[in-house]
Chains A and B, each alone.
Chain A
Amino acid sequence: MEGDKDLIRRAKKGDVPAFEELISGYEKKVYNIVYRFFANPEDARDITQEIFLKIFTSLKGFNERAAFSTWLYRIVVNTCIDFYRRREGETLPLLEEMANNEVKLNGRTDTPESVVEKKELIEALKKAIKELPGDQKACVILRDIEGFSYMEISEILKCSVGTVKSRISRGRRALKQILEERELFLKNNV
């Protein structure tokens, strides 16, 4: 903790090696969160880079009352939501891609077909996550994919645990409904 404080103090003065040491261990996690948001490795790479540059320049505003990790993840989530809002106008060929995938929620067999189905399900899920509203998406990603606790999420998003639970619950059901509708859509078109 003391070491972190020293690194933060040096990084605030523009010490790049100190900053790199400070963020070491967070890069992969941040990259994965961003990747879940955008479901695209190129976007995830670019946006993650931007996020770290933003953290480097905003570090002077970090008051050290909260944990560095909480502050960092808050920037990550907020930046992702901002980027996503800006891209909302862009059309995504989601349905076309989904048309080639058959999604089965409860398919659990060891046959090669089931493995393929699972992969397709995961791809479909990635895209379905993108369709969720920003706050629900952030909660589902942090909780169900990245494994953050409710308390951590409430600190990152600056809201109550109850709100987090509610958003997660709504997010999961919305996700489930999106997938079920597609499954039905695909079944009807076969």
Chain B
Amino acid sequence: MACKKFDKIIDKYVEGLATLEEKKALEKHVECCRACKQEVDGLKGLLESLNSFESMDLPEDFLPTLHNRLLKLKDERRKAPTIIISLQRLCRYNFKGFAFGMATVILAFFLIHFGVMPDINRQGAGGNPVNQKMTGYRSRPSLSVSSPETTLSASPKAESKVTTDAEKAYEKMMMTKNFQIAATTKSQTQGRTVARGGDHITRFLVPENKKPEEVEPKDAALTKIDMQQEALRGNGFGVASAKLLSQEAEKSEELTFYAEDFDKTVVQVLSLADKSDGSIEESKIFESNGESARRAYMVLKVPKENSTKTLEQIKALGGLSVAPGPQMKSLTVKGPEKAEASQKEEALSEKSKIGQAPLEQSQKEQASLESKELKERALAQGSDVQKPMTIIRINIIEKPSNPESESN
């Protein structure tokens, strides 16, 4: 091991590149340092040996072989597409990398093709990303349906498993009115979107411990997705609906009021939308869960010219004196805190039984007419006609029978 001081100089020295001063210093040092002397001698001998390597002549057949291979390569490049040449080269010069790349591609193909990654598979097999995102959000297997054929498979029978008889009857009545019903059950969140003959009906079962306010935005967003989804699928009504949603309303109003006869008020409000030449954008009923009263949330879209009149009529229905406006949301009246669930259920079943008989027949007749009208209207609005519209959001809370509970 040479001394550190002379380590670098030794390399220069053995190559003959050391300066005169360096040469003298090293030679003087080597006289008294055995290790450095051995290092100098060893490296000198090594370099002499390396320099004595004889230059090898090319093999005789080297140039002719190279010439032939070059010509062959030129022909291949002329015939084959660039990608094949690249693959050939890749394979020739980096076989491990090429093999790894090919293995990755094959593995990915099998994963996608044989459903090991179901989401990708579904999307790849004809579903669209919007659909998948929505079904994932609702934790259900592709229940989102928009074509009339699949509507048949998504029959209300399946839903009856999680709803009471009274609720079923009530739902049947409401479905004809293009309703979205949020019913309180013990089950976890479930949902189903059904497009029936032009009507767009979404039914959600909201978890018991969730307040309607918490669910509302998600449901609203989901409805939007449903309609956009239809638009994506090329459904005529879907296109129109999506366009409806995309129209920016110039004005937005919000009303909240109590209603003694809840069902009647809801129907009246909905009929007002028809009368004012408007449309029902969204409508939901949140059933009582024992803590809060039954509630309806509706979004109407009416022509701006009729909005004032419609608003007044709605206010009159609710006996409302509060001025409408965006600040209304903060004025939302809280429902009675303690109402017994059993009483509500009884009231609901009675109402549905009473309401169903007289209404059912007429509603059924109206349903087809209304759906046609809605479809035509939606198509008309989806076309180039762009009327200025006003969005009215209405919250109707069922007035409890016990007057003491209204103190708030």
Contacts and interface: CB of A to CB of B under 8 A. Distances in A.
Interface of A: 14, 16, 19-20, 27-28, 31-32, 35-36, 41, 44-45, 48-50, 52-54, 56-57, 79, 82, 86, 105-106, 118, 121-122, 125, 140, 144-145, 165, 168-169, 172-173, 175-176, 179-180
Contacts of A14: 74, 77-78
Contacts of A169: 7-8, 11
Nearest 5 CB-CB pairings of A with B: A105-B45, A144-B50, A16-B70, A106-B45, A45-B59
B55 A28 contact: yes
Contact of B56 (A32, A54, A79, A144): A32
B47, B62, B70 pick with most chain A CB within 10 angstroms: B70
B259 to A, nearest CB: 78
A48 B62 contact: yes
Interface stretch (B88-96, B104-112, B148-156): B88-96
Contacts of A105: 41-42, 45-46, 49
How many chain B residues sit at the interface, stated as a range, is 35 or more
Interface string B4-28: 0001100100000000000000000
Contacts of A82: 93-94
Contacts of B214: none
Interface string B73-116: 11001100000010001001111100000000000000000000
A16 B74 contact: yes
Nearest to B65: A49
Given A49-B65, A53-B70, A105-B46, 15 more contacts: A14-B74, A14-B77, A28-B55, A41-B56, A49-B66, A49-B69, A53-B73, A56-B70, A86-B95, A86-B96, A125-B46, A144-B47, A165-B11, A169-B8, A172-B47
Given A14-B77, A31-B62, A144-B51, A176 B43 contact: yes
Contacts of B56: 28, 31-32, 35, 41, 44
B215 to A, nearest CB: 60
Contacts of B93: 50, 54, 79, 82
Given A16-B70, A19-B70, A53-B70, A45 B62 contact: yes
B249 to A, nearest CB: 59
A145 B43 contact: no
A82 B90 CA distance: 13
B53 A122 contact: yes
A53 to B, nearest CB: 6
Nearest to B95: A86
14 contacts: A28-B57, A31-B58, A49-B69, A53-B66, A54-B89, A56-B70, A82-B93, A105-B42, A125-B46, A144-B47, A168-B11, A169-B8, A172-B11, A173-B43
A44 to B, nearest CB: 8
Given A169-B11, A176-B42, A176-B46, A27 B51 contact: no
B139 to A, nearest CB: 51
A173 B46 CA distance: 9
B373 to A, nearest CB: 68
B67 interface: yes
A82 B55 CA distance: 24
Nearest to A45: B59
Contacts of A125: 46, 49-50, 53
